[in-house]
Amino acid sequence: MENIIAQQLVKMQGEILEKIQKDGLGNIGETAEALFQIVKENTRELLRAILEATDAAIAEAKAERKADGLRVKERNVKRRLQTSLGAMEYGRTYYETAKGEYVYLLDHLIGVEPYERMSKTLSAKLVNLAAEMSYGKSAACAEADVSRQTVSNKVNALREVVQEVERVKETPEELHLFADEDHVHLKDGRNAIVPLVTISEGIDKSNPKRHRLINPLHIAGYGMEAEAFNDQVEACVYERYDLNKVNRIYIHGDGASRIVALGERFPNAEHVLDGFHLEKYLKKLGHFNDAAQRMGALRAALKDGNWKTYKKLLETIYALQTGKDRERCKPVILYLWNNRWSAHLRYSPDICGSCTESLVSHVLSERLSRTPLAWSERGLEKMTMLVVYRKNGRKVTARDIRVSLTCEEQDREALLHRGGWDKYNGYMNRQIDLILDTDWAGTFEKEALSFGKVDASYVIRKSLGTLRSVV
């Protein structure tokens, strides 16, 4: 083995010196690239030689093999494996075990699975790149000599990767949940909705040129049932924070029913209409007949919470419309009236600004919908999981990679996904255990537990309801 290594190193040294001698150092960039290729080729050859020497050593240890019931079936069976060093071909021995099974012992020792044609480390590199760029660009950037379809296959076979949620050292008095959704095209012509919730402790404005969220955690889940997705968000909030220490939770969003339903799960929660949608509907209203001259007074009434004046102004604007304008005006007025309190809170100086639209753009749209893309349902499910995992600061590793999945396995996994991520469901189960271990009888004798919109009995019913499919 020592001779093999020494010979290869001497060979590589000679090729490097010869290249420098031949081309000189006139263009250091080209020289560095040429030397890099020499190092890769020689390292690949060195690794191949070491693998084959290891395989030969195993085959020659006849006494040990016989004791373990291993019999040589065939020698020097070639295996081609794509690695970060390039395509590497090596020979190995095929063995029959005492139980009549067949195995490539060398493959087993170096962690190469049957039918694996690309190393898991290289696969992980491609998957990480795919979270930021197209499959074709990912393959080119990794210099892996693989097709865009190969990159797509690796993403689709990815294991479940979601951000680990850890308890914070100090729970803040105020939490902010920014909720919105991205609209993505599917290959069958339909539009898909990808929900996104970002849990944060507010906005850091210490840098006036660049505000940032404090301790953000992004959660997205295409393909989940709406109830299951809200379950996931709820589980993460309870896992991360001690809600007994939180005075107020603000749910920033556009007023959609699923976002309002999310707020009803938490103690002392308030829904705050995000600035983008508030301005969007106010501007829409201002374009109707004789509405512009009343918008200043309408904004003032909304800001002050003067609902009598606010309602009268909306009714006046509606009455001034005729024909089709009246029909178009009605949903705008209803939206501004139904969301009046959450719109009023948007003007509060004590509540941080909204960034729901920019979060969707930054976290999801850059990869999912900004360019003319069309996704398969499974591809969108996996890519949503991947981009959020990467935006949360995590990185896919070799242990997250699977060689392949059958169609049946993919269908089964997609069905399970509708109920949410396993890890986050585990957080919910832990909360349920805490509820069941509480001496509720003694607690209720002292004082009734009330958490604003969510009382103790609701928490118990909701949590146990989640367990119905398990119990």
What are the boundaries of each domain within the chain?
2-117, 288-352
**34 CB-near residues (< 8 Å, 6+ apart):** 19, 23
Closest listed residue to residue 13, CA positions, set 38, 48, 49, 34: 38
How many Å apart are CA 73 and CA 188, to the nearest integer? 49
Quote the mean pLDDT of the chain: 88
pLDDT per residue over 317-331, tens digit each? 999 999 899 999 999
Model pLDDT for residues 88-122, shown as the tens digit of each residue: 999 999 999 989 999 999 999 999 998 899 999 99
Cα separations (Å) of 300 from 51, 66, 182, 209, 240? 77, 90, 32, 29, 39
**Encoded amino acid at 303, one letter:** K
Pairing assessment for the beta strands 203-204 and 212-213 based on DSSP bridges = antiparallel
Please give the Cα distance from 128 to 231 (Å, whole number): 28
What six digits make up the tokens of 456? 């103790």
pLDDT at 448: 44
Residues 216 and 175: beta-carbon distance below 8 Å: no
In terms of Cα–Cα distance, which of 335, 321, 330 is closest to 280?
A: 335
- Helices 120-130, 148-156: crossing angle, 10 deg rounding: 100
Q: Could you read off the pLDDT of 282-316 as tens digits, one per residue?
A: 999 999 999 999 999 999 999 999 999 999 999 99
User: If pLDDT is split at 50, 70 and 90, which confidence band does 462 have?
Assistant: low
Query: Tokens 């005075």 sit at which residue?
Result: 247
Tell me if 368 sits within 8 A of 195, measured CB to CB. no
Closest CA to 405 of 95, 113, 60: 113
Q: How far is CA 404 from CA 114, 135, 152, 384, in A?
A: 10, 17, 11, 19
DSSP for 231-276, written as a single string: HHHHHHHHHH--GGG--EEEEEE---HHHHHHHTTSTTEEEEE-HH
pLDDT score recorded for residue 22: 86
Q: Is the pLDDT of residue 155 over 70?
A: yes
In the structure encoding, which two tokens stand for residue 312, read together? Answer: 């009268």
Identity of the amino acid at 255: G
CA distances from 304 to 130, 340, 346, 351, 353 (A): 48, 11, 11, 15, 18
Q: Give the integer Cα–Cα distance in Å for 115 and 118.
A: 9
With beta carbons less than 8 A apart as the criterion, state whether 244 and 170 touch: no
Evaluate if residue 273 carries a pLDDT over 50.
yes
pLDDT tens digit string along 181-203?
999 999 999 999 999 999 999 99
Lowest mean pLDDT among 38-47, 138-147, 159-168: 138-147
Query: For the purposes of burial, counting CB atoms within 10 Å of the CB of 206, is it exposed (0-12), middle (13-18) or buried (19 or more)?
Result: exposed
**Please, are residues 217 and 165 in contact by the beta-carbon 8 Å criterion?**
yes
Cα–Cα distance measured from residue 413 to residue 406, given in angstroms and rounded to the nearest whole number = 11
The reported pLDDT for the residue numbered 459 is 55
> What pLDDT band is residue 142 in, cutting at 50, 70 and 90?
confident
* Model confidence, pTM: 0.85
pLDDT tens for each residue of 33-87: 999 999 999 999 999 999 999 999 999 999 988 898 999 999 999 999 999 898 9
Rounded CA-CA distance 177/181 in Å is 13
- ∠ CA 10-16-22, rounded to 5°: 130
Q: Amino acid identity, residue 440?
A: W
Which is more confidently placed, 391 or 467? 391
pLDDT tens, residue by residue, 440-461: 555 555 444 444 444 554 455 4
Average pLDDT of the segment spanning 384-402: 95
